[in-house]
Structure 1
Amino acid sequence: MSTVLVAHPSADLYGSDLQLVESVAGLVEAGRRVVVTLPAPGPLVARLAAAGAEVTVLPVPVLRKALLRPRGLLALAGGSLRALPAMVALLRDLRPGAVYVNTVTVPLWLVAARLAGRPALCHVHEAEDGLPRPVALLLNAPVLLARSVVANSGAARDVLVRAVPALRRRTRVVHNGVAGPGREPAPAGRGTGPRRLVLVGRLSERKGTDVAVEALALLRARGHDVELELCGAVFPGYEWFEERLRQRAARPDLAGAVVFSGYTDPTWPALEHAEVVLVPSRAEPFGNTAVEAQLAGRPVVASAVQGLQEIVTSGEDGLLVPPGDAAALADAVASLLDDPALAARLAAAGVESAVRRFSPARYRADVVAAVDAVRAERR
């Protein structure tokens, strides 16, 4: 049985983490032995084990923006020198047919794979556009050590290739595969009380949580009886952002209208209670939550950025608005609340599009093919 070593930067249960579970499931189904390395324990471990993977915890530096400064780079270099011997030893012990490095934030695994003589594939889930050229090059140059590259969207591929043009020929796009609720979408219906909007994702400026809150205020000022449920938590160290959101939500115009539900899993009950799902990200390499909303049979209003534009075609299977524009977001939501027929048409088209384009079966097959191509090239 061929072994695949999978390297991942966290043990959380957010977008790229859950997508990794689909990748692992596909490889296991195809008869591969899958060993996943994580830098720390966490809730992802149980999900990976259930998918058939062996999990080992090996502390490895994870590249964060905070490290892209002189002091941070020194810490990164020191941590790398300490971790690299154990990484190479693990690779030489396992002798995997391929090393699958999931995201550009654990580039040391690409170095270790090269030192151990193992072919590597890098799965890019990032689209950090607008970075200074030296920073973009520093973040993406290690990907040159991979024999093949998979990007989760055309947007992610384009950002990568702009930073390192030499990667163009070895990079392919594999859109994420997103599992549905396992049943027909529950019909949307108005109950008693306010009409609910839902946003699933980390509480962050990047995800546009603040934009959604301001759009809610505008809708209520226009006389719409609406509330907003926020399903997500902050990264450690960004508690100040949640506090700012809570302070805004406590002001008279929004008092009692914003529900902070924290990290939510599964998200289907929250999505099914929504009349409209918001994805107001300022940057989004792909956007699993937009696909999940479509699979839940709910109309989606998303930002016209990066990968979200590859999921939603405005006016056909959802609506797109300029990022960071609370007024435009409020206008789009109002158009759906005021026109149930439009909302129903977009929701139905969204279900059809998501099932057809972003199925887990298609995704798993594409990942297995990409990994097998790296193994075959080595032979």
Structure 2
Amino acid sequence: MPVSPLAGATILVAHPGAELYGSDRVLFESVTGLIDAGAEVVVALPVTGPAVAELESRGARVVICPTPVLRKSALSPSGLVSLTGRMLAGGVRAARLMRSVRPEAVVVNTITIPVWLPVARAMRVPCLCHVHEAEKSAPALIRRALYSPLATATRVIANSRYSLAVLKEAVPLRIPPSAIVANGVAVPDGSEIVAGPRTRPGAGTAEDPVRLLFIGRLSPRKGPQVALEAVERLRDAGTTVRLSLLGAVFQGYEWFESELRTWVAEHRLGDQVDFLGFRDDVWPVVAQADIIVVPSTRDEPFGDTAVEAMLARRPLVVAWTSGLREAADGYATARFFPPGDAAGLAAGVQDILEHWSEVSELTAADRRLALSRHAPAVYRQAFAGQVAAMLAEHG
């Protein structure tokens, strides 16, 4: 059997944060795939955080290397002046770390840390960029600024057809060899999680409300405000639900959570909405849910939460948009609604409740389909294969 180009190779992986959200969890599977293939993995993070312990537990070495993370707020005249200085300083740090680590290849996880791509090119180290973004709704100039550094990558992989299409539109004729690798999504095998939903949720009464769950950042684009309005509509129609919001805001967006809490109070929904904040382990909450809702109002590159719902055998009501369509397509227990349409979300919940016995029986088949598409082992092998192919081409 031929030896993989990754066997004994040192791979430097750069990532923009140290949290435990979607792209962070995909990073963990990417790193595991590289290590399983025999590589030594060094992960460069700009800050420390809970991801450090997780990466180290998987066998990676973590180095803190402050480099700028590109936010859309920086893409203004004043922001660009500041960003230029930080990019230069970050480039010096990145080059210094690469000279120390001497990697055979660099993997850049997301397009928000662009300094690593030109540094790798300048040092003649092959570099793969893993694109998790799909900023279709951003102005054309901003999209070009976000995506143009990819022209210096050796290879690109995207997490969905939609992400790759947005990328190619933003930077036409300049994209290196590219491929789609669907995200790997892990769900614990605990019986309380994958045994499926309750035999029958309550009739939607105050004594036994239907339990809805939102997982993700509390941000306008993720649509928790749409979920809240759907709760009100369901209540007014005679169906009582209890919505749990599992997630926190980005720093600087505390105003948005305040607006959500004020809206809940003004509409007398305090006994039907729980703000759970961020939790490292979401699965005990998932185990208590009847239906998962994904009400994003803007473009999504993919939709890990939609896949998690299928893996956990929970029916899903999801916005029919962008990468979410790919994530949820083909599942019998998913219901779709137009982005931003609270009435549509409420109707999707009601439809699931009206067909509860049938939906419950179909969750097992949907779980099997999700495993065939997104089992971590499938993803790890595919991701490592892309890095190995890049090394073989530039060996």
TM-score (norm 2): 0.93
On the 8 A contact 2:331/2:366 being kept in 1, the answer is no
Residue 358, structure 1, aligned to residue 358, structure 2:
no
Map 1:250-265 to 2 at 5 A.
250-265=265-280
Alignment counterpart, residue 350 of structure 2, candidates 323, 334, 342: 334
How far 1:345 moved relative to its partner? Answer: 4.2
| Aligned position for 1:323 | 339
Instruction: Tell me whether 181-190 or 30-39 shows the greater mean CA deviation.
Output: 181-190
How many Å separate the matches in 1 of 2:30 and 2:331? 32
Deviation by residue 1:141-188 (Cα, 9 ceiling, x = unmatched): 100111100001111101101101225561111010011222341342
Residue 71, structure 1, aligned to residue 78, structure 2:
yes
Q: Which amino acid aligns with 2:320?
A: A
Question: Against the structure 1 CA distance between its residues 324 and 377, is the aligned structure 2 distance closer, same or farther, given a 3 Å change threshold?
Answer: same
SS at match of 2:277: coil
Map 1:213-224 to 2 at 5 A.
213-224=228-239
On the 8 A contact 1:198/1:276 being kept in 2, the answer is yes
How many Å separate the matches in 2 of 1:136 and 1:335? 38
How far 1:314 moved relative to its partner? Answer: 6.4
Alignment counterpart, residue 207 of structure 1, candidates 211, 222, 230: 222
| Aligned position for 1:239 | 254
Alignment counterpart, residue 320 of structure 2, candidates 304, 307, 310: 304
| Aligned position for 2:116 | 109
How far 1:264 moved relative to its partner? Answer: 2.1
How far 1:316 moved relative to its partner? Answer: 2.2
Q: Displaced runs of 4+ in structure 1, greater than 3 A?
A: none
| Aligned position for 2:197 | 188
Identity %: 46
| Aligned position for 1:29 | 36
On the 8 A contact 1:197/1:274 being kept in 2, the answer is yes
Alignment counterpart, residue 249 of structure 1, candidates 259, 264, 282: 264
How far 1:255 moved relative to its partner? Answer: 2.6
How many Å separate the matches in 1 of 2:288 and 2:70? 37
TM-score (norm 1): 0.97
Deviation by residue 1:285-315 (Cα, 9 ceiling, x = unmatched): 1111111111111101111111111122367
Alignment counterpart, residue 244 of structure 2, candidates 229, 236, 245: 229
How many Å separate the matches in 1 of 2:175 and 2:124? 23
How far 1:201 moved relative to its partner? Answer: 0.5
Number of matched pairs: 379
On the 8 A contact 1:316/1:346 being kept in 2, the answer is yes
How far 1:341 moved relative to its partner? Answer: 2.2
On the 8 A contact 1:232/1:262 being kept in 2, the answer is yes
On the 8 A contact 2:154/2:176 being kept in 1, the answer is no
On the 8 A contact 1:195/1:225 being kept in 2, the answer is yes
On the 8 A contact 1:317/1:349 being kept in 2, the answer is no
On the 8 A contact 1:11/1:44 being kept in 2, the answer is yes
Which consecutive unaligned segments of at least 5 residues does structure 1 have?
none
How many Å separate the matches in 1 of 2:140 and 2:46? 28
On the 8 A contact 1:318/1:347 being kept in 2, the answer is no
Deviation by residue 1:120-151 (Cα, 9 ceiling, x = unmatched): 00000000012222111111010011110000
How many Å separate the matches in 2 of 1:187 and 1:101? 37
SS at match of 1:55: strand
How far 1:269 moved relative to its partner? Answer: 1.5
Instruction: Tell me whether 76-85 or 199-208 shows the greater mean CA deviation.
Output: 76-85
SS at match of 2:336: strand
| Aligned position for 2:91 | 84
Which consecutive unaligned segments of at least 5 residues does structure 2 have?
1-7
On the 8 A contact 1:180/1:292 being kept in 2, the answer is yes
SS at match of 2:391: helix
